[in-house]
């Protein structure tokens, strides 16, 4: 285990690989060696200290993948500030909640992304965030002022702060959609995410010669842990192909930077392999990578292997476990790479239990997957009761149904709760239902997942309207949600009903709703 802080780990890597490439941002053409990366990270860290940020303070970051995101990640780690990662798809409703719940005193944000004015959205909710003291906008004078503040704090002061940090200190809060209507802040330590980045990198057999193309978002553990921390803990190079996923720009980055590793959820790989000119990209340097987020189709894995990416791995986990618990090995048989999510990682334990009794079930029998070890989060930020419900005797209860075979390979067979996985994004219907209740015409709402060829699942809202309400269409409901919910949480389909199918005890039968929805969609497409 790398029993040290993220800042100390970066310093050790710089000492060994100062002149090697550390970071490449394709959109701007900017590049950093490890020595240059540490210079800019330390300068930004001193700027945060000059701003008054102290160890334990929460600093939010709300931006797409960019070099400043990475610099902020490591600068806050250097001074022990807790980085609050905000999904760039969030809108005012969600932004206000997570910044308030985390108690963020500083927010770093982008100027604009996909047509949205981020400072304007911050301004709309600023009065409801009394703890938010500073807003720093990347690429503006406020960012320049933050960096310039470093002149008032010397290197000795930064070192003194760093020496006072410990591996088990909280360093990151990642918000996961909650079943209670609001996201929960999984609180992660240096040890959690540095250890996970290190071992995932070991699983990919990284060395300082590797160059990792990271098209997955930094706000998620996939990007900032499995991508950035796996790279810096091994002296490898981080390549940012674009601010948001673009299949052509991703393959162009692989070719131009001679990348050896490529990340993505299956839908990303499907989009890349579907490019009509894919053969024109030189992917010959690719050796390994990670596919995660949802099951890998067998045909897709065959295409990846046929392209020469012989060491592609599959990972499984959740934000609350930093995130990876299991990973396939390059040496595993093909059947394991497409039918399982691998075996348990180093210094971790997994077990499959009866969801009702909590007793461990025999190999080959289904049950709830639980995991234990260094990767389990410290808890949900400011929510001790929810933390105690999720972590029992050190075991994180994932809510996923799984089967473990005699060789230790784990196969995910379903989900205990009604989480919808759309293109690798975990979406909890309860959160969206709570928001739909704010619509003046909605009496009640239920959200389910329906099959979709492109994303795996799409969202469908069943709504009961108030008496006298105007007729509702899918478009009118989407218009209500746009700008207030992340795009991937906005239901694609809407079905207006008088009543929901219920059990005799008064619970909504979502299984029956999903069956009916499939028939409705087939009829509408006919």
Alpha carbons 413 and 402: distance in angstroms, whole number: 5
pTM: 0.85
d(CA 32, CA 325): 31
Calpha distance 103→133 (Å, rounded): 11
Judge contact between 29 and 239, C-beta under 8 A. Answer: no
Domain boundaries, the chain: 11-404, 420-525
State residue 182's pLDDT score.
Answer: 79
pLDDT at 272: 95
Per-residue pLDDT, 177: 67
Tokens of 155: 């290197």
The pairing of beta strand 237-240 with beta strand 493-496: unpaired
Q: How far is CA 274 from CA 55, 269, 277, 279, in A?
A: 47, 8, 9, 10
CA distances from 194 to 241, 451, 504 (A): 23, 36, 49
C-alpha triplet 420, 174, 188: angle, nearest 5°: 125
Query: Which superfamily does CATH assign the domain made up of 11-404 to?
Result: ANL, N-terminal domain (3.40.50.12780)
pLDDT at 466: 86
Q: What is the pLDDT at residue 180?
A: 46
Burial of 419: CB neighbours in 10 Å, binned 0-12, 13-18, 19+: middle
**Distance between CA atoms of 105 and 182, rounded to whole angstroms?**
21
Q: How confident is the model at residue 179, as a pLDDT?
A: 41
In this prediction, residue 396 carries a pLDDT of 98
Torsion of CA 181, 418, 454, 290, to 10 degrees: 90
- Cβ neighbourhood burial of 113 (10 Å; 0-12, 13-18, 19+): middle
The tens digit of pLDDT for each residue in 416-455 reads: 777 788 998 878 787 898 799 889 999 888 999 999 989 9
Q: Could you tell me which CATH number the domain at 420-525 has?
A: 3.30.300.30
User: pLDDT tens digit string along 361-400?
Assistant: 999 998 999 999 999 999 999 999 999 999 999 999 999 8
DSSP string, 298-330: HHHHHHHHHTT-TEEEEEEE-GGGSSEEEE--T
How many angstroms separate the CA atoms of 475 and 458, rounded?
15
- Residue 502 has what pLDDT? 77
Ranges of residues in the chain whose predicted pLDDT is under 50: 179-180, 505
């Amino acid at each position: 285990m790398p029993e040290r802080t993220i800042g100390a780990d970066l310093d050790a890597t710089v000492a060994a690989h100062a002149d090697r490439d550390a970071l490449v941002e394709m959109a701007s053409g900017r590049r950093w060696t490890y020595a240059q990366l540490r210079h800019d990270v330390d300068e930004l860290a001193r700027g945060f200290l000059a701003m008054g940020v102290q160890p334990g303070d929460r600093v939010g970051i709300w931006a797409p993948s960019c070099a400043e995101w990475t610099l902020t990640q490591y600068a806050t780690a250097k001074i022990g500030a807790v980085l609050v990662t905000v999904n760039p798809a969030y809108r005012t409703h969600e932004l206000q909640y997570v910044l308030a719940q985390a108690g963020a005193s500083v927010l770093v944000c982008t100027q604009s992304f996909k047509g949205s004015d981020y400072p304007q959205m911050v301004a709309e909710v600023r009065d409801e965030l009394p703890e938010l003291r500073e807003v720093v906008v990347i690429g503006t004078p406020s960012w320049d002022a933050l960096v310039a503040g470093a002149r008032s704090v010397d290197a000795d002061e930064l070192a003194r702060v760093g020496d006072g940090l410990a591996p088990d200190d909280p360093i990151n809060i990642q918000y996961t959609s909650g079943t209670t209507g609001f996201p929960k802040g999984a609180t992660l330590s240096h040890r959690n995410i540095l250890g996970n980045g290190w071992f995932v990198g070991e699983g990919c057999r990284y060395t300082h010669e590797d160059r990792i193309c990271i098209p997955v978002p930094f706000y998620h553990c996939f990007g900032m842990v499995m991508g950035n921390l796996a790279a810096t803990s091994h002296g490898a190079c981080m390549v940012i192909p674009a601010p948001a996923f673009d299949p052509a720009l991703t393959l162009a980055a692989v070719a131009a930077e001679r990348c050896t590793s490529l990340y993505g959820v299956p839908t990303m790989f499907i989009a890349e392999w579907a490019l009509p000119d894919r053969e024109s990209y030189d992917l010959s340097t690719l050796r390994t990578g990670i596919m995660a987020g949802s099951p890998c189709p067998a045909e897709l894995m065959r295409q990846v292997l046929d392209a020469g990416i012989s060491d592609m791995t599959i990972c499984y986990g959740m934000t609350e476990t930093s995130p990876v618990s299991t990973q396939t090995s390059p040496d595993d048989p093909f059947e394991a790479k497409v039918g399982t999510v691998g075996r348990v990682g180093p210094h971790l334990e997994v077990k499959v239990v009866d969801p009702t009794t909590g007793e461990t079930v025999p190999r080959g029998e289904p049950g709830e997957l639980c995991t234990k070890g260094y990767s389990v989060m410290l808890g949900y930020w400011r929510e001790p009761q929810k933390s105690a419900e999720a972590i029992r005797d050190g075991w994180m209860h994932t809510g996923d149904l799984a089967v473990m075979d005699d060789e230790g390979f784990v196969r995910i067979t379903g989900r205990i709760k009604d989480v919808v996985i759309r293109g690798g994004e975990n979406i909890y219907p309860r959160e969206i239902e709570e928001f739909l209740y704010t619509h003046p015409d909605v009496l009640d709402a239920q959200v389910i997942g329906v099959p979709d060829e492109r994303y795996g699942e799409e969202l469908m809202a069943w709504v009961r309207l108030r008496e006298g309400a105007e007729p509702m269409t899918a478009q009118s409901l989407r218009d209500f949600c746009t700008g207030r919910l992340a795009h991937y949480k906005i239901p694609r389909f809407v079905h207006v009903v008088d009543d929901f199918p219920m059990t005799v005890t008064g619970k909504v039968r979502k299984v029956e709703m999903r069956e009916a929805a499939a028939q409705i969609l087939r009829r509408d497409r006919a």
